[in-house]
Protein backbone atom coordinates (compact mmCIF):
# COMPACT_ATOMS: atom_id res chain seq x y z
CA UNK A 1 0.00 0.00 0.00
CA UNK A 2 1.23 3.49 -0.84
CA UNK A 3 1.13 4.99 2.66
CA UNK A 4 2.99 8.08 1.44
CA UNK A 5 -0.01 9.07 -0.73
CA UNK A 6 -1.40 12.28 0.91
CA UNK A 7 -4.98 11.41 -0.11
CA UNK A 8 -4.75 7.92 1.38
CA UNK A 9 -3.12 9.30 4.54
CA UNK A 10 -5.99 11.76 4.97
CA UNK A 11 -8.64 9.06 4.51
CA UNK A 12 -6.97 6.64 6.93
CA UNK A 13 -6.46 9.42 9.50
CA UNK A 14 -10.18 10.24 9.26
CA UNK A 15 -11.09 6.55 9.66
CA UNK A 16 -8.82 6.32 12.72
CA UNK A 17 -10.24 9.47 14.31
CA UNK A 18 -13.77 8.15 13.77
CA UNK A 19 -12.90 4.78 15.29
CA UNK A 20 -13.70 2.93 12.06
CA UNK A 21 -10.25 1.27 11.88
CA UNK A 22 -10.24 -1.83 14.07
CA UNK A 23 -8.10 -4.83 14.85
CA UNK A 24 -4.89 -5.35 12.92
CA UNK A 25 -5.62 -2.44 10.57
CA UNK A 26 -5.80 -0.01 13.51
CA UNK A 27 -2.59 -1.41 15.05
CA UNK A 28 -0.74 -1.03 11.74
CA UNK A 29 -1.96 2.55 11.39
CA UNK A 30 -0.85 3.46 14.93
CA UNK A 31 2.63 2.10 14.18
CA UNK A 32 2.81 4.16 10.99
CA UNK A 33 1.58 7.31 12.77
CA UNK A 34 4.33 6.99 15.37
CA UNK A 35 6.93 6.76 12.60
CA UNK A 36 5.54 9.45 10.28
CA UNK A 37 5.04 12.97 11.77
CA UNK A 38 2.92 13.97 8.77
CA UNK A 39 0.50 11.12 9.36
CA UNK A 40 0.32 11.93 13.07
CA UNK A 41 -0.44 15.57 12.22
CA UNK A 42 -3.30 14.49 9.95
CA UNK A 43 -4.83 12.48 12.81
CA UNK A 44 -4.65 15.52 15.10
CA UNK A 45 -6.26 17.67 12.40
CA UNK A 46 -9.12 15.18 11.99
CA UNK A 47 -9.65 14.94 15.74
CA UNK A 48 -9.84 18.73 15.98
CA UNK A 49 -12.21 18.80 12.99
CA UNK A 50 -14.54 16.20 14.50
CA UNK A 51 -14.44 17.54 18.08
CA UNK A 52 -17.22 20.14 17.44
CA UNK A 53 -19.51 17.36 16.22
CA UNK A 54 -19.12 15.52 19.51
CA UNK A 55 -19.73 18.70 21.48
CA UNK A 56 -22.90 19.52 19.52
CA UNK A 57 -24.34 16.02 19.86
CA UNK A 58 -26.77 15.64 22.75
CA UNK A 59 -25.97 12.96 25.28
CA UNK A 60 -28.14 9.84 25.04
CA UNK A 61 -28.46 7.36 27.87
CA UNK A 62 -27.72 3.82 26.62
CA UNK A 63 -30.42 1.20 26.82
CA UNK A 64 -30.04 -1.49 29.51
CA UNK A 65 -29.08 -4.01 26.81
CA UNK A 66 -26.32 -1.78 25.40
CA UNK A 67 -25.09 -0.87 28.91
CA UNK A 68 -24.89 -4.53 29.89
CA UNK A 69 -22.94 -5.29 26.70
CA UNK A 70 -20.46 -2.48 27.43
CA UNK A 71 -19.96 -3.73 30.98
CA UNK A 72 -19.24 -7.23 29.72
CA UNK A 73 -16.55 -5.82 27.42
CA UNK A 74 -14.79 -3.58 29.94
CA UNK A 75 -15.39 -5.74 33.03
CA UNK A 76 -14.99 -9.31 31.80
CA UNK A 77 -15.96 -12.04 34.24
CA UNK A 78 -12.86 -13.95 35.21
CA UNK A 79 -13.24 -17.58 34.27
CA UNK A 80 -12.44 -20.21 36.90
CA UNK A 81 -8.90 -21.62 36.61
CA UNK A 82 -8.49 -24.61 34.34
CA UNK A 83 -7.48 -27.88 35.89
CA UNK A 84 -3.97 -27.60 34.45
CA UNK A 85 -3.51 -24.19 36.12
CA UNK A 86 -4.24 -25.50 39.60
CA UNK A 87 -1.33 -25.95 41.98
CA UNK A 88 -2.66 -29.23 43.37
CA UNK A 89 -2.49 -30.77 39.89
CA UNK A 90 1.20 -29.94 39.36
CA UNK A 91 2.48 -30.53 42.92
CA UNK A 92 2.83 -34.37 42.63
CA UNK A 93 4.99 -34.09 39.55
CA UNK A 94 7.79 -32.07 41.18
CA UNK A 95 10.73 -31.31 38.90
CA UNK A 96 9.14 -33.06 35.92
CA UNK A 97 6.16 -30.75 36.11
CA UNK A 98 8.41 -27.69 36.27
CA UNK A 99 10.23 -28.81 33.12
CA UNK A 100 6.93 -29.33 31.34
CA UNK A 101 5.71 -25.86 32.35
CA UNK A 102 8.87 -24.23 30.95
CA UNK A 103 8.52 -26.10 27.67
CA UNK A 104 4.83 -25.19 27.42
CA UNK A 105 5.56 -21.50 28.09
CA UNK A 106 8.23 -21.46 25.38
CA UNK A 107 5.83 -23.03 22.88
CA UNK A 108 3.06 -20.54 23.65
CA UNK A 109 5.52 -17.65 23.37
CA UNK A 110 6.44 -18.72 19.85
CA UNK A 111 2.80 -19.13 18.86
CA UNK A 112 1.79 -15.73 20.21
CA UNK A 113 4.73 -14.04 18.51
CA UNK A 114 3.73 -15.45 15.10
CA UNK A 115 1.24 -13.30 13.15
CA UNK A 116 -2.07 -14.92 12.23
CA UNK A 117 -2.30 -16.31 8.71
CA UNK A 118 -5.43 -14.30 7.94
CA UNK A 119 -7.30 -11.42 9.53
CA UNK A 120 -10.88 -11.87 8.27
CA UNK A 121 -12.20 -8.71 9.93
CA UNK A 122 -9.83 -6.28 8.24
CA UNK A 123 -11.54 -3.66 6.06
CA UNK A 124 -10.74 -4.03 2.35
CA UNK A 125 -12.08 -0.74 0.97
CA UNK A 126 -13.03 2.59 2.50
CA UNK A 127 -14.63 5.78 1.22
CA UNK A 128 -15.02 8.99 3.25
CA UNK A 129 -17.88 10.83 1.52
CA UNK A 130 -17.92 14.61 1.85
CA UNK A 131 -20.57 17.24 1.17
CA UNK A 132 -20.33 20.24 -1.17
CA UNK A 133 -18.26 22.08 1.45
CA UNK A 134 -15.78 19.15 1.62
CA UNK A 135 -16.87 18.26 5.15
CA UNK A 136 -16.97 14.53 6.03
CA UNK A 137 -20.54 13.28 6.04
CA UNK A 138 -20.56 9.50 5.67
CA UNK A 139 -17.92 6.76 6.02
CA UNK A 140 -18.47 3.60 3.98
CA UNK A 141 -16.22 0.62 4.76
CA UNK A 142 -16.33 -2.62 2.77
CA UNK A 143 -15.44 -5.98 4.32
CA UNK A 144 -15.33 -9.51 2.96
CA UNK A 145 -15.98 -12.91 4.55
CA UNK A 146 -18.88 -12.20 4.22
CA UNK A 147 -19.24 -9.33 1.74
CA UNK A 148 -20.81 -6.32 3.48
CA UNK A 149 -20.74 -2.56 3.91
CA UNK A 150 -20.61 -0.68 7.19
CA UNK A 151 -22.23 2.73 6.65
CA UNK A 152 -21.51 5.29 9.38
CA UNK A 153 -23.19 8.71 8.98
CA UNK A 154 -21.35 11.65 10.52
CA UNK A 155 -23.79 14.38 9.55
CA UNK A 156 -27.55 14.29 10.05
CA UNK A 157 -29.40 13.88 6.76
CA UNK A 158 -33.08 14.77 6.43
CA UNK A 159 -34.86 12.65 3.83
CA UNK A 160 -38.21 13.55 2.32
CA UNK A 161 -41.06 11.11 3.05
CA UNK A 162 -41.11 8.35 0.47
CA UNK A 163 -37.47 8.90 -0.55
CA UNK A 164 -34.44 6.74 0.19
CA UNK A 165 -30.67 7.24 0.36
CA UNK A 166 -28.78 5.20 -2.20
CA UNK A 167 -25.08 4.51 -2.62
CA UNK A 168 -23.84 4.48 -6.21
CA UNK A 169 -20.50 3.04 -7.35
CA UNK A 170 -18.67 5.00 -10.06
CA UNK A 171 -16.85 2.50 -12.31
CA UNK A 172 -13.12 3.16 -12.58
CA UNK A 173 -12.88 2.26 -16.27
CA UNK A 174 -16.08 3.67 -17.78
CA UNK A 175 -17.35 6.23 -15.26
CA UNK A 176 -20.72 4.44 -15.27
CA UNK A 177 -22.75 4.72 -12.07
CA UNK A 178 -24.23 1.49 -10.71
CA UNK A 179 -26.61 1.17 -7.77
CA UNK A 180 -24.79 -0.44 -4.85
CA UNK A 181 -26.99 -0.25 -1.73
CA UNK A 182 -29.60 1.67 0.26
CA UNK A 183 -29.31 2.80 3.86
CA UNK A 184 -31.27 4.66 6.50
CA UNK A 185 -30.18 8.13 7.66
CA UNK A 186 -28.98 8.88 11.15
CA UNK A 187 -27.63 5.50 12.24
CA UNK A 188 -24.65 3.24 11.62
CA UNK A 189 -25.69 0.06 9.90
CA UNK A 190 -24.47 -3.09 8.17
CA UNK A 191 -25.55 -3.67 4.58
CA UNK A 192 -25.01 -7.18 3.11
CA UNK A 193 -23.53 -7.36 -0.39
CA UNK A 194 -23.96 -9.96 -3.10
CA UNK A 195 -21.07 -11.16 -5.26
CA UNK A 196 -22.16 -8.62 -7.88
CA UNK A 197 -22.18 -5.85 -5.27
CA UNK A 198 -18.66 -6.75 -4.14
CA UNK A 199 -17.51 -6.61 -7.77
CA UNK A 200 -18.91 -3.07 -8.00
CA UNK A 201 -16.92 -2.02 -4.93
CA UNK A 202 -13.71 -3.57 -6.31
CA UNK A 203 -14.14 -1.74 -9.62
CA UNK A 204 -15.22 1.61 -8.16
CA UNK A 205 -13.08 4.73 -8.35
CA UNK A 206 -15.56 6.58 -6.11
CA UNK A 207 -18.83 6.20 -4.22
CA UNK A 208 -21.73 8.66 -4.24
CA UNK A 209 -24.89 9.08 -2.16
CA UNK A 210 -28.12 10.44 -3.60
CA UNK A 211 -31.60 11.00 -2.20
CA UNK A 212 -34.06 9.39 -4.61
CA UNK A 213 -37.57 8.10 -4.89
CA UNK A 214 -38.00 4.39 -4.35
CA UNK A 215 -39.05 3.93 -7.98
CA UNK A 216 -36.00 5.72 -9.46
CA UNK A 217 -34.19 3.36 -11.83
CA UNK A 218 -31.01 5.39 -12.31
CA UNK A 219 -29.08 8.13 -10.54
CA UNK A 220 -31.22 11.24 -10.32
CA UNK A 221 -30.21 14.73 -9.27
CA UNK A 222 -26.81 15.80 -7.98
CA UNK A 223 -24.85 13.64 -5.56
CA UNK A 224 -25.29 14.79 -1.96
CA UNK A 225 -22.00 13.20 -0.87
CA UNK A 226 -19.09 11.65 -2.74
CA UNK A 227 -15.56 10.43 -2.16
CA UNK A 228 -12.86 8.16 -3.62
CA UNK A 229 -13.05 4.43 -2.95
CA UNK A 230 -9.65 3.38 -1.60
CA UNK A 231 -8.27 -0.16 -1.67
CA UNK A 232 -6.67 -0.57 1.77
CA UNK A 233 -4.71 -3.65 0.69
CA UNK A 234 -3.13 -1.92 -2.29
CA UNK A 235 -2.88 -3.24 -5.85
CA UNK A 236 -1.77 -6.85 -6.42
CA UNK A 237 1.78 -7.16 -7.73
CA UNK A 238 2.31 -10.05 -10.15
Locate the domains of the chain by residue range. Answer: 6-56, 125-231
Give the percent of the chain with pLDDT over 90.
Answer: 20
Question: Span 168-180, mean pLDDT?
Answer: 92
Query: Mean pLDDT in the chain?
Result: 75
Helix axes 6-18 and 37-56, enclosed angle (nearest 10): 40
At residue 114, the pLDDT reads 42
Burial track 6-40 (b if 16+ CB lie within 10 A, e otherwise): eebbbbbbbbbbbebbeeebbebbeeebeeeeebe
Which of the pair, 219 or 115, is modelled with greater confidence? 219
Domain 125-231 class in CATH: mainly beta
Angle at CA of residue 144, ends 139 and 131, nearest 5°: 15
What's the predicted TM-score (pTM) here? 0.50
Amino acid sequence: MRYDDPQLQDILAGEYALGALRGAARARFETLARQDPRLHRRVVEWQERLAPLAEETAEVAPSPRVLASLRRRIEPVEAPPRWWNRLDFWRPFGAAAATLVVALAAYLGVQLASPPATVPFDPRYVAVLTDAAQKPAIVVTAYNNPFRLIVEPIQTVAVQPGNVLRIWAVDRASGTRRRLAEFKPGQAQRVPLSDAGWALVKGAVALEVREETIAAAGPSGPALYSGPCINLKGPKIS
